Amino acid sequence: MHHHVRVGQAAVDLGRGLVLPNPVIAASGPFGYGVEVADLVDLPRLGGIVTRSTSLRPRPGHRGPRMAEVPAGMLLGMGPQNPGLDSVLERYAEVWARWPVPVILSLCADTSSELGEAARRLDGVPGIAGLELNLSCGGGRGGGVPGLDPDAAASYVAVARRSTELPVIAKLTAAASDVRAVARAVESAGADAIAAINTLPGFVPSADRRGPALASDYGGICGPALRPVALRVVWEVAQAVDLPVIGIGGVAAVDDVLDFRIRICEQVHLPDKCIFDLAGQFEPLVGGTRREIAQGADDLLTGSFGGMDGLHQQVVGVGLVLVSAGGLAHVHSHYDKRDLLRNQEALSWI
């Protein structure tokens, strides 16, 4: 069955009881675990929050430098830094349970068995509304990145599906050679929704061109530069599966949200833009998206845009990405990317 938002309503049903009050979601990463920005952002106005990716056991991040500027974006090499699942639940689960906004915990794992164990621990935990599986994780202990291969991606999703009754969202990467095949595989394995996309691998040289700019050599491209790739992948995925699709990548304004929703999403993650200017954009994005849903839902949900008749509308959300708590302390109505680069240590938690 197709998943639709009813005309005139902002709520989004992701299945298994997870209903988001509106289609604007804080994407995994820069919001941390939510508490870091709770005094800076009106979190209840969001449709949901996806936490930073969390592993079964603690992981260190990459050493610095971790960030570099690229045209229309940033290159981030933070690594999988997190305190581990037990510590995250101890610190935050009770807080999340008191929040009116649904919290979706992002999970990363080197193996499907690790992922299954993490999912089992989360089943029935108050404050956890759903799981996002970061299929760009992996590579540890000789393993590959599961999101690149349909069979590997399906195995991760299948294990999670067997391990929990929580809604499972599979987060895909544009680096896959055939993202449609990956999308169909995770759908068959039991995913309730798909999120697309994660950052794309990139590389830039250091200022003296004697080596890489990042200590990790490679990093993930984010920001407006990523948006055309994200739109392409969401377009392809939405035609390949019969699941809700959450669009992520380079959302900087209400028009960007609508670009996803025209065909692509009924729900929008707002990730990368706010690295540049969160305070000036957060309210227009949330408020503007709600107004557009109310005023233009007929066009958005019936495919009445030129050349799009007959395309099913299951893009349900868009993800918003912010800067770190340290970075946000410097964000007012304007924010210079160079200030962010000079404050890399403030982003150690991202």
**Segment 215-247, tens digit of pLDDT:** 999 998 988 889 899 989 988 998 899 888 888
22 pLDDT above the threshold of 90: no
Least confident span in 49-53, 162-166, 205-209, 312-316 = 312-316
The predicted pLDDT at position 283 comes to 52
Sign of the alpha-carbon dihedral angle for 17, 19, 25, 31: negative
The predicted pLDDT at position 319 comes to 58
Q: How far apart are the first and last CA of the chain?
A: 37
308 pLDDT above the threshold of 60: no
Least confident span in 33-47, 77-91, 111-125, 257-271 = 257-271
Q: Which two tokens stand for residue 114?
A: 């690790």
Q: Which two tokens stand for residue 55?
A: 């592993």
Residue 94 CA to residue 126 CA, distance in Å, equals: 7
The predicted pLDDT at position 205 comes to 95
- Residue spans of the domains in the chain: they are 12-347
**Segment 163-211, tens digit of pLDDT:** 999 999 999 999 999 999 999 999 999 999 999 989 899 999 999 999 9
8 pLDDT above the threshold of 50: no
From the number of C-beta atoms within 10 Å of its C-beta (0-12, 13-18, 19+), residue 346 rates as middle
The residues annotated as belonging to the active site are 137
Q: What percent of the chain has pLDDT over 70?
A: 70
The predicted pLDDT at position 178 comes to 97
The predicted pLDDT at position 125 comes to 95
47 pLDDT above the threshold of 60: yes
**Segment 144-155, tens digit of pLDDT:** 899 999 999 999
pTM of the model: 0.79
Residue 322 CA to residue 343 CA, distance in Å, equals: 15
Give the model's confidence band at 292: pLDDT under 50 very low, under 70 low, under 90 confident, else very high: low
344 pLDDT above the threshold of 50: no
Nearest one of 33, 31, 30, 14 to 22, comparing CA atoms? 14
Q: Which residue has the higher pLDDT, 52 or 2?
A: 52
Q: Kindly state the average pLDDT of the residues 72-81.
A: 86
Q: Which residue has the higher pLDDT, 288 or 43?
A: 43
Q: Kindly state the average pLDDT of the residues 84-104.
A: 96
Residue 339 CA to residue 350 CA, distance in Å, equals: 17
Strand partners, 103: 49
CATH superfamily of 12-347: Aldolase class I (3.20.20.70)
Q: How many residues does the chain have?
A: 350
